Structure 1
């Protein structure tokens, strides 16, 4: 029996002779039943976008035997010449990094040459735009059928160079030449499906040559396509029932579930498959990408890190990625560090609440922010901090944080204004505690005000108030605000031990100047 190609495997081979099928083929039929046309899907990296495109390709090529046991096997008209034996043009920018326009041209030329060879069609054009258009027309004429065009990772060349605005703009303009062909060849195309990380906006459509595709169907946050990539809970427990039994289900959910695109929340497939292979909880997805640019953008904008949680965003904001105006929340959402937790209608507007999808992302991102800010290895400090919090050794916390602030180079402060305000110091504490996987609440609401930071570890609560002495000059210790406003009353009936911490900083000394604590 012919083995399934990797493209039709919406699963991973875990044992030598054991395949696990997570069947997403019903979505392909839905695309066709809706009349074909032009579709766009945005999802974070390593979420199954490429596999889905390969599955579309296999369906239209008529590779029926590959679908045995899947929904599409009995629900696709394999004898219909408009659905089977259809020529497919697949273009992917997912591999490698294009460090110049020349490299991008070479990459696209390689793709077009492969298409030319696959269909035994030659083009007399040397320039890439005309060659692409010519291939579509000649394949249509050869088979007397409209073609299927699949574009994978349409935006990767731009995102790879996002820190170099000039290069990113040049790459965008070059890609515009290629993508404009699609709208010009409309009558030769049966179905076009485009995937990427960044979501389409009107500006994106125009600047990437898609402005003519007025019927472009963006299914990124449509509830009925919410689980087109990723594993739902039912799929996880039905398909992998012999594997999931070896793990604490709540821990699996806490670590890897939580991605929502206004439909049912899904598990990150990359994480789940590596969890089964390695049999331990780790930051598998996060480790495959470095969010350095994102962290630099947070720093540049003097972003209050705790506000990443429960961020309210409009529909325009989450779909408005543009290299000329990069928004922090947009980038966080589209790259998978935030996801949709709630959708609300406010008048004529749709408003979303964004939050971390799961503990993997929350811990890893805050840990990366800490590592970026410090030249020192902070792992030993974090271990000591966790033990001190668990044992109630509050005196041991001050030297840990004092050492961290002392490790930040003076040059960093010279180039950034971020260290001049209270939110910066609160952000550092927040990142430290969150990176440990603790339950952390910033701006914790009480009936008498907001606690700067609340940290919970098992049945212990730490209530923390921050103060920058050059900004608040009343001379009152930070801890007094906790006591005067009785912030602790919120937790007296639910926690065994409550600690009050007042931490004061000097933006001149760039470190802690007073550290006080009490146990109730």
Structure 2
């Protein structure tokens, strides 16, 4: 089986015999039930392939759709003039990049339809004239497909407010053509990560229908469980044999790593297609999506991040708090959600609230790694350090754990501990340890676990050992151990066969690392 990894051309996938998940019944519905759409999906989720599929459909390439669902649905196969724009390749941190790209597109289209270039006209009016000419000359209304429409803004978000405003105004003027040229338009689709509806990008024309959370189109991009079982039963069996497990165990491993996205109240499970296809191709479960890079705009936004992830995840939100992006860098939740690092995990119909959490293990690990790098900026190589911590936990080596945590905390620049008052310093250390333990996801880790007599700072469970941590800021390890004893934090493990370690640790606000560490072994 040939996997179309990195291939976004529908015609190449079909002509070269790559596997194609048939979404053309949804394409037919989309093109026949509406006119102007916006679709938000995370990066590498198949938006560009969808655009390519629509382009070939409106070009009347019936032969490419042979055997697909749309072949039986479409009877006319009309050919329409296509205007396809892809902002993926541009570097819009350059001041003139956006205007230059639009100018190049416009000059090409004006030449194609025999129009003289009039640079005195605004870009929106020039595009209006092109759309009108295309309609009159071909007898068919135009189709406009814009891929990653928001990249010109995302590239400079929280970097250059002047250039950000300039790009927003340029795009607003350009999209105004859709309103004045409405009679000449057959279909319009804009794809991207974010919806800038609140900052007037779309205010110059009739608002596109946002299908990002429309239950009818939730599976338009990505791979469902049904599609996985239907298209890839053979490859999963081969992958299971390679990894010395059963096909069902292999399915469960893939599900935990790559499944879990939900794009509507219907809650249909969606797999990340980029990661899933990479895993099937290499017969190895790894972090493909997160390893392909964290968006630079998200890294910049994380610098503003002031919430503990345990306060942000596993929480219900009204839709206005995360669906409509409001371009507020101090409130990054909408961007984190729309970028695919959080997804809907439940819907409370009575209160119209959505539960947000990490979609799967790959995303959780990738996001927390990026957050640690942004928030703490350690000098140590994070992946190697995590491996060493896991080895120490497996071996029950608490002295090694002390050494590892001390070295890691000492590697964080002093400037990252930028809080001034004592309470915020304590919160810094608590958050630091929280991030670290969330990254070490090989074993069960509870942070601030609530028990009958109090809240335990951290408990880590491995197959052989249980670690109960209590931390103090500028206190003593004996005080921390006494709290474990007085509050009965170990009581629930009294009949557990595993060896138990009580660990009292002290954070030093002066040195920024572990000041004292003591361990008591046994129940």
TM-score by shorter chain over 0.5: yes
Aligned partners of 1:419 and 1:425 also within 8 Å: no
The root-mean-square deviation of aligned C-alpha atoms, in Å, is 2.9
Q: Does 1:270 align with 2:262?
A: no
Mapped partners of 1:336, 1:416: distance in 2:
34
Residue 196 (structure 1) aligned to one of 189, 192, 195? 192
Q: Residue deviations 1:412-432, cap 9 Å, x none? A: 335888994333223322333
Residue 234 (structure 1) aligned to one of 217, 226, 244? 226
Cα distance 1:284–1:141, how it changes in 2: closer, same or farther (>3 A)? same
Residue 64 (structure 1) aligned to one of 62, 70, 76? 62
Residue 362 (structure 1) aligned to one of 364, 367, 390? 364
Aligned partners of 1:506 and 1:513 also within 8 Å: yes
Alignment of 1:176-255 (within 5 A): 176-201=172-197, 203-204=198-199, 207-210=200-203, 212-214=205-207, 216-245=208-237, 246-247=239-240, 248-255=250-257
Cα distance 1:151–1:417, how it changes in 2: closer, same or farther (>3 A)? farther
Unaligned runs of at least 5 residues, structure 1:
none
Aligned partners of 1:405 and 1:511 also within 8 Å: yes
Residue 163 (structure 1) aligned to one of 149, 153, 158? 158
Mapped partners of 1:89, 1:495: distance in 2:
67
Alignment of 1:99-118 (within 5 A): 99-116=93-110
Q: Aligned to 2:164, what secondary structure does the other structure show?
A: helix
Mapped partners of 1:85, 1:282: distance in 2:
43
Aligned partners of 1:300 and 1:416 also within 8 Å: no
Cα displacement (A) at 1:243: 1.6
Q: Does 1:336 align with 2:340?
A: yes
Cα distance 1:239–1:160, how it changes in 2: closer, same or farther (>3 A)? same
Mapped partners of 2:414, 2:488: distance in 1:
38
Mapped partners of 2:467, 2:303: distance in 1:
27
Aligned partners of 1:462 and 1:499 also within 8 Å: yes
| Structure 2 equivalent of residue 9 of structure 1 | 10
Alignment of 1:28-427 (within 5 A): 28-34=27-33, 36-77=34-75, 79=76, 84-116=78-110, 119-126=112-119, 127-164=122-159, 165-201=161-197, 203-204=198-199, 207-210=200-203, 212-214=205-207, 216-245=208-237, 246-247=239-240, 248-262=250-264, 263-291=267-295, 293-347=297-351, 350-372=352-374, 373-414=377-418, 420-427=424-431
Aligned partners of 2:507 and 2:514 also within 8 Å: yes
Residue-pair matches, total: 500
Mapped partners of 2:63, 2:10: distance in 1:
13
Aligned partners of 1:468 and 1:507 also within 8 Å: yes
Mapped partners of 1:219, 1:493: distance in 2:
53
Unaligned runs of at least 5 residues, structure 2:
241-249
Cα displacement (A) at 1:175: 1.2
Mapped partners of 1:120, 1:360: distance in 2:
48
Q: Aligned to 1:487, what secondary structure does the other structure show?
A: coil
Q: Residue deviations 1:398-455, cap 9 Å, x none? A: 1111111111222333588899433322332233333333333333233333333333
